[in-house]
Amino acid sequence: MLSAIIATHESERSLVPTLAALIPGATAGLVSEVIVTDAGSHDATSEVADLAGCRFMASAAPLGARLNQAASGARAPWLLFLRAGAVPDASWIDETGRFIDETRLGGGIDSMAATFRPAPAAGSQRPALVEALALLGRALGARAQPDQGLLIAKRFYIDLGGHRADAVDTEADLLRRLGRARIVMLRSGVASPRRSRTD
């Protein structure tokens, strides 16, 4: 049903928890493949991806070009972009499946995308009040952030022009082009580390 796409660079450690979180999705039949698009890591990122049964693509191209290449080669009709280190909570499978079903039935496959709700990073030292205020800001219309992941139909992604290779922050650029009105925030949270290197 969906292809998970993870951009990496020297991500051997941060990739492991993300792949572990995707295993239940594969078991449930939601995740049909995982594509790791790498910027030429010298660590064991490729070995981790291989052991997990991922398709591994390495390229020196900019992040936007690598994400587009992975998306164009994806076999599933839905794409889930995650950063290495992002860990969706246990409810992500049901929430993602529900969004896909409702979007297909409602005819919004070419007009809606989704992100996960931000959750504190594992081991975060930020006070609970700060985390609550950040969540409130996002709930009241703050723009979605790339570390929240992106679930989008492949044909909608292509119609939008995908990730722009020449954008300063290609992930944020795509979210801006989608706009708040076309992004649904799922009830499932995703814990993310601080921005990892992907290019």
Specify the pLDDT at position 133: 61
**pLDDT tens by residue, 29-40:** 999 999 999 999
**pLDDT tens by residue, 5-25:** 999 999 999 999 999 999 999
For residue 165, what are the domain limits? 2-191
For residue 46, name the pLDDT band (cuts at 50, 70, 90): very high
Q: Does 199 fall in a domain?
A: no
Is there a contact between 49 and 37 (Cβ–Cβ < 8 Å)?
no
Specify the pLDDT at position 118: 86
Is there a contact between 64 and 81 (Cβ–Cβ < 8 Å)?
no
Whether the pLDDT of residue 143 is over 90: the answer is no
Whether the pLDDT of residue 60 is over 60: the answer is yes
DSSP string covering 47-61 = HHHHHTT-EEEE--S
Specify the pLDDT at position 199: 57
**pLDDT tens by residue, 86-140:** 999 999 999 999 999 999 998 888 899 999 998 765 555 555 665 566 556 555 5
Which of the two residues, 149 and 131, has the higher pLDDT score? 149
Q: Does 122 fall in a domain?
A: yes
Q: Does 79 fall in a domain?
A: yes
- Cα separation, 97 vs 85, whole angstroms: 22
Q: The CATH number of the domain where 80 resides is what?
A: 3.90.550.10
Nearest one of 35, 38, 69, 37 to 53, comparing CA atoms: 35
Domain tally for the chain? 1
Q: Does 61 fall in a domain?
A: yes
Whole-prediction pTM value? 0.88
